[in-house]
Structure formats: C-alpha cells, structure tokens
Amino acid sequence: MLDGKKTLFSGMQATGNLTLGNYLGALKNWVTISDEYNCFYSVVDMHSITVRQDPAVLRKRARTLLTLYIAAGLDPVKNCIYYQSHVSAHAELAWILNCFTYMGELNRMTQFKDKAAKHADNINAGLFTYPVLMAADILLYQADLVPVGIDQMQHLEITRDIAQRFNSTYGDVFTLPEAYIGKVGAKIMSLQEPSKKMSKSDENPNGSIYLMDDKDTIMRKCRRAVTDSAGIIRYTDEQPGLKNLIDIYCACTGKTPDETMKEFDGKGYGEFKPAVGEAVAAILMPLQEEQARLTADKAYIDGIIKENAEKAAYYANKTLRKVQRKIGFPDRIRN
C-alpha cells in the first residue's frame, strides 16, 4: 500500500484508435476510481510491437493515447500516467520472470493462439511471452488490483502463479494482485456485428465509433447500425443490435433501459438512432475539445511525460532492485 491506499495498475495499447467502447467500458471508469486508489496508468507501447508497427505512427498514437488519458479526466499529478517504454524496469523484470514461467503455461494462453492465427507471418517470441511482460507490468508496482475483462483474466491468473512461485522460493517479494471488481463499465458491441465487442481493430470502420469521430460521422454510423425489422424499441436479447444501441444511449445519458423504452414508446428506429448519435456526440465533444487543447500545449505534455516516467521508475526500481538481490545479481556500485 502507498499512503494507506491500495495500488491499482492498468494500461492500454498504443495501437489503433480508441473507440467509444474503450471509453465507456474502461477509461471513464478509471476516472471514477482514481481518488480511491494509487493508480498507475500506462501506455503499454512495448506490448504494441508484437505486431509490426510504423515507427512514426506508433509514436504519434502513443502520445495521443497518453493525452487522451488526461483529456478524459485523469489527473496526471494524482495518477502516474506514463509510457511503458520509458521505464526500463519493465523489460528487466520481464526477463527475470521469463525464467520463472513454464512453457506449458504460455502454451495454454488463448490470446497467443488467437493472435498467432491473425498474424501467421509474424509469430514471434514476444507474442508468446507477452503474458510475462504483462506480469512484470503489474508486479513492478506491487499492484493490489487490476481491472481486467474476461479476455484478460487468464493473464492475471498466470501473473499470480508466477508471483507465488517466486515468493515460495525467495520470500514475500511480490504482492499477489486481485481482479478489480467494481462498477461494471458498459459493454459496447459492434454497430455492424452486435455479437462482437466494439473494437479498434475492426476491419469495418462502420462497426466502431472512434473517440475522435466528428458529429457527422457519429450520426452516420448510428443511422447505419444493424438492428432488425421489428421496429419496436425493446431491451431484449432477441434484438441484439437494438439492445446495443440502448446500452450506448443509457451509458451516455445516465438513463436506464426502462426509462429509454418509455421515452421512445411508440417511436421507431428512425427517431431512436439519431437520438443515440446526438447522445454520443454530446459526451465526446468535450473530450475532443480538451484533447485538442492539451495537444497544442506541447510543453505541458512533455513535462507530464518526464515527471511521470521518473515517478514510475522510482517505484518500479524499488521492486526490481529487491528482486535482483533475491536472485543473486551483484549489487550495483553507486557513488
């Protein structure tokens, strides 16, 4: 614990463009819990390179993502917002933890199988050992809590296994992280395939609303959203496309599904879809304006990057030095 508060770690990859799903499902919730915990929010750009990236694009997206964290309402003084690649302890601890991780454990990781299938021409060792770097991310900061979705739960479990294995050999070194179970963020599905989550890697651009989409684009995507022929505003699994739009509308307005159904009782999709678009545009416009303001203030963002990298490195290196001493690496000679 730091200052009597539990520590929470989370991060997002600097690939693709963040979607409305990323915002409503994760980023918005980060803001609500940032006073309750000591929070480390990383732009996990080291994870990003398991898939080939254009260097200039990666740098730009990483800065955009870090700025979006702040624009969304995360205070960069209360929260440590930093680039993973600026803290070398992530890579150093990952190597050590590789030596405490079994091949069989990594072979069972479903995300490796999924990504290997998508990138058959680039099945690299980093893709295979990705969960070990994720374990290092979490364990470096002695995180008590990690917000994870179902698709990441396997990675948290292997993190705990690695930490327990190390602790059983060398004593109480790592905090065993727990999954953060708080207010569940809205689960936003694709506008074109409501059986799938809205994704920043969706090949169909009409399936996702991106945080930087202008109002005209948002309205167009909502009008084109897949629904059905019933034409009745009902919140039911039998109408997944419509249910998804209601979830979006509720997340943006604070209304319940019942309130939404009453509001649009007797009205059709021709009225409801534009209302969803208006609600989405209304919550994204302030975010976009603040993002633009912060992007223009280069000196301020540069200062945040420098200060938070130093802060993250301070806490990460405390753990790393302890680990290095435990496993027998020679002490570093300091002036």
Catalytic residue among 115, 221, 243, 273: 115
126 is in an annotated binding site: no
Number of helical (H) and strand (E) elements in the chain, helices listed first: 15, 5
199 among annotated binding-site residues: yes
168 is in an annotated binding site: no
The alpha carbons of the chain give a radius of gyration, in whole angstroms, of 21
According to the annotation, is 273 in a ligand binding site?
no
Whether 262 sits among the annotated catalytic residues: the reply is no
Annotated ligand binding at 200? The verdict is yes
Q: Is 11 annotated as a binding residue?
A: no
Give which of 150, 137, 148, 16 is closest to 80, Cα–Cα: 137
Residues 6+ apart with CB under 8 A from 329: none
Instruction: Indicate if 196 belongs to the active site.
Output: no
Distance CA 298, CA 59 (A): 14
Q: Is 150 annotated as a binding residue?
A: yes
**Annotation-wise, does 149 bind a ligand?**
yes
Residue type, 113: K
Residue 48 in marked binding region: no
CA dihedral of residues 22, 55, 134, 108 (deg, nearest 10): 90
Catalytic residue among 197, 221, 243, 273: 197
CA distance 135 to 163: 8
**Catalytic residue list contains 197:** yes
CA distance 218 to 248: 12
Locate all alpha helices (DSSP H) within 179-268, ordered by sequence.
Answer: 215-223, 240-253, 257-263
Query: Among all chains, which residue has been given the structure tokens 């990441």?
Result: 152
Handedness of CA 176, 179, 183, 186 (dihedral sign): positive
Q: Do residues 104 and 282 touch, judged by C-beta distance below 8 A?
A: no
CA distance 101 to 129: 9
Choose, from 6, 28, 187, 200, the residue flagged as catalytic. Answer: 200
Task: Point out the residues that are catalytic.
Answer: 115, 197, 200
- Give the residue ranges of the annotated binding site for ATP: 13-15, 21-22, 149-151, 188, 197-201
Binding-site residues for L-tryptophan, in ranges, read 137
Binding-site residues from annotation = 13-15, 21-22, 137, 149-151, 188, 197-201
